[in-house]
Amino acid sequence: MRYPNLISWMVCGLLLGAAISGRGAAVAGKAPRLDHTGGATRLMVEGQPWIILGGELHNSSSSSLDYLRPIWPRLKSLNLNTVIASLSWELVEPEEGRYDFTLLDGIVEAARRHELKLVLIWFGTWKNTDGSYAPGWVKTNLVRFPRCQHRPGVNTTQFSAFAEATLAADARAFAAVMRRLREVDGQTHTVLMMQVENEAGVMPVSRDRSELAEEAHRKPVPEELMNYLKAHKASLIPELRAVWASSNYRESGTWSEVFGDTPAGDEVFQAWHIARFIGRVAEAGKAEYPLPMYANAWLVQQRGQEPGKYPSGGPVAKVMDVWRAAAPAIDFIAPDIYLEDFKNICAEYTQSGNPLFIPEASRDERAGLRAYYAIGHHHALGFAPFGIDSLPATNVLGEHYGVLQQLAPVLANHLGQKTLRGFLQYRDERRLELDLGDYRAEIEYRSEDPGRLGGGLLIATAPDTFLITGVNYTIRFAMPREKSGQVAWLTIDEGVFRHGQWVPGRRLNGDEAGYRLNLGPRPRILLARVYAFPEK
């Protein structure tokens, strides 16, 4: 097992730390990209891995530069390194063919001035299934830009994924945005990624029932999808495989013949066409400036919930294979997590090699713990609570992000390796064991306040040396179960990373370094070494 140790890491710590924390000077070079080498997908910025310690602004915050002006310093004080901000079609193209990039230019400039990176959301045809961010000239022309219909002949405010004119107009506008972004940011790389549309899908029915949609539903399933399913039959996500199995894995035919006339079959049909639409918008944008691009998902809210109760056709985990086949320009699918079952949702969205990125999450006091878990356990690209501009500068998230920002260069060196582990208490869970380095970490969750959960992450910088952080747990190290012997603390140092270098503080011993090391309610960083000795 490879251990990037603390000394070798510190040699390049200054440069790498500045790059990941957002303090580094911009350097001309290749656009941000995803790197799939090794055991993890990493976001590479200026040639270095970047872990997004983010927050998403409220939807309307970025519609006014004046409104944002006092918010930027508060975001900086929360120790974010990346802000997720929306960019709406209606403000970019208020009249067809006339583009206004005032907001885009201003947001990029302000983020750069405050030494923050950006992820931008394109609010185009879909925002939470609806078309509210489309320009007025699109909304008011139902002949040219037809609507999704839940019942034949009855229009809604949702746009139809089957309308070529809507796709063409959306793709042109998005391409113009990416062209402008290349002009103003192609050398400085303030913007790292693009979210294409937002929580797309159809509600409250399982599929579009407009004339265009019905015509498409009567046609054969496209060869591209059937070829993908056949090629990946053994590794398909189980829910999709089960839908296809209902026809005994039929390899051609209409949508009904292959997937059945059920809500689940409707979802596959709708997913293909929404993904094709969004994929083509992404393709148009990447042709101008090839940043990484993703689609985000409004989640299935409970087991067994039927499509339409959540956005049918959106990029939920069970149809990720359909999205991969239909939209290769979309690099990954990202879950918006507001549900309690955080661990299982993360696991769902790491199936089949999908890298984890959480662009929206609850902004409660557990957000920092969830960031530890997503980054430490799943080696996520990043984490971002929603409505970050509602948090005061004193929120505890800032303390957790402060720790993670210090650790970011070390974390980057351990992504994709078994030397990085994250953990998060779930409900009444009390203890956990993790194999790490040459030892076994025994974790017991403990809080002075029974309502507060525990969590954190561990990094083995050497077989016997560990960086430890998090809150509300105790930890000790023991021998692996197949080996005999006792383990004790050799040294425990409290400290910080400053400008990429470890600065030790107190050497903990005596009452502060008992049999079990206590991580209390405030996050801190500890560097501990252990040693083994025979029982007899």
- Tens of pLDDT, residue by residue over 249-258, are 999 999 999 9
Burial level of 390, CB count in 10 A (0-12/13-18/19+)?
middle
Looking at residue 8, its pLDDT comes to 45
Looking at residue 4, its pLDDT comes to 55
Per-residue pLDDT reduced to its tens digit, 103-124: 999 999 999 999 999 999 999 9
What are 498's two structure tokens? 């400053």
Looking at residue 14, its pLDDT comes to 36
Looking at residue 10, its pLDDT comes to 43
CA atoms of 246 and 434, how far apart (whole Å): 41
What φ, ψ does residue 149 adopt, rounded to 5°? -120, 130
pLDDT at 96 exceeding the cut of 60: yes
CA atoms of 110 and 116, how far apart (whole Å): 9
Options 2.60.220.20, 3.40.50.2300, 3.90.320.10, 3.30.750.24; which CATH number does 423-533 get?
2.60.220.20
What are 351's two structure tokens? 């199936």
For the segment 468-489, the average pLDDT, to the nearest whole number, is 95
Tokens 């992450």 label which residue? 457
Looking at residue 2, its pLDDT comes to 53
Looking at residue 38, its pLDDT comes to 75
Confidence at 12, pLDDT banded by 50, 70, 90: very low
Rounded to the nearest integer, the mean pLDDT of the chain is 93
CA atoms of 401 and 265, how far apart (whole Å): 43
Confidence at 451, pLDDT banded by 50, 70, 90: confident
In terms of CATH, what superfamily is 6-415? Answer: Glycosidases (3.20.20.80)
* Pairing mode of beta strands 473-478, 439-445: antiparallel
Looking at residue 300, its pLDDT comes to 97
Pick from 18-32, 158-172, 459-473, 498-512: least confident: 18-32
CA 316 from chain center: how many Å?
A: 14
Q: Order of strands, edge to edge, in the sheet holding 473-478?
A: 431-436, 439-445, 473-478, 517-519
What are 20's two structure tokens? 């990941």
Confidence at 463, pLDDT banded by 50, 70, 90: very high
List C-alpha distances in Å: 264 to 102, 254, 347, 437. Answer: 43, 15, 22, 45
Q: Indicate if the alpha-carbon torsion angle 221, 226, 227, 228 is positive or negative.
A: positive
Per-residue pLDDT reduced to its tens digit, 193-222: 999 999 999 999 999 999 999 999 999 999
List C-alpha distances in Å: 201 to 258, 500, 502, 513. Answer: 21, 44, 48, 54
C-alpha angle 192-409-286 in degrees, rounded to nearest 5: 15
Per-residue pLDDT reduced to its tens digit, 16-67: 343 334 433 333 468 999 999 777 899 999 999 999 999 999 999 999 999 9
CA atoms of 90 and 87, how far apart (whole Å): 9
CA atoms of 159 and 527, how far apart (whole Å): 55
Confidence at 3, pLDDT banded by 50, 70, 90: low
Task: Give every CB contact of residue 458 below 8 A, 6+ residues apart in sequence.
Answer: 376, 420, 421, 422, 423, 434, 436, 441, 466, 467, 468
Whether residue 288 contacts residue 263, with contact meaning beta carbons closer than 8 Å, is answered with no
CA atoms of 119 and 73, how far apart (whole Å): 18
Looking at residue 427, its pLDDT comes to 82
CA atoms of 461 and 7, how far apart (whole Å): 9
Query: Treating both helix axes as pointing N-terminal to C-terminal, what angle do 238-245 and 263-288 enclose, rounded to 10 degrees?
Result: 130
User: What are the residue ranges spanned by the domains of the chain?
Assistant: 6-415, 423-533
Per-residue pLDDT reduced to its tens digit, 412-429: 999 999 999 999 999 889
Burial level of 6, CB count in 10 A (0-12/13-18/19+)?
middle
Looking at residue 450, its pLDDT comes to 74
Looking at residue 535, its pLDDT comes to 82
- Report DSSP state, residue 389: G
Per-residue pLDDT reduced to its tens digit, 301-315: 999 999 999 999 999
Q: Which amino acid is at 114?
A: H
pLDDT at 388 exceeding the cut of 70: yes
Looking at residue 344, its pLDDT comes to 96
Looking at residue 5, its pLDDT comes to 55
- pTM value is 0.93
Nearest to 254 by CA among 232, 229, 222, 208: 222
CA atoms of 179 and 186, how far apart (whole Å): 9
Looking at residue 100, its pLDDT comes to 98
Per-residue pLDDT reduced to its tens digit, 70-90: 999 999 999 999 999 999 999
For the segment 475-501, the average pLDDT, to the nearest whole number, is 94
Q: What is the largest CA-CA distance in the chain?
A: 86
List C-alpha distances in Å: 180 to 101, 253, 286. Answer: 8, 43, 12
Secondary element (H or E) of residue 337: strand 332-337
CA atoms of 376 and 458, how far apart (whole Å): 8
Whether residue 87 contacts residue 122, with contact meaning beta carbons closer than 8 Å, is answered with yes
Looking at residue 428, its pLDDT comes to 83
CA atoms of 479 and 231, how far apart (whole Å): 45
pLDDT at 402 exceeding the cut of 60: yes
**Radius of gyration, CA atoms only, the chain:** 25
Whether residue 439 contacts residue 477, with contact meaning beta carbons closer than 8 Å, is answered with yes
CA atoms of 318 and 218, how far apart (whole Å): 23
pLDDT at 7 exceeding the cut of 50: no
The 3 state secondary structure assigned to 236-256 is: CCHHHHHHHHCCCCCCCCEHH
Which is higher by pLDDT, 11 or 360? 360
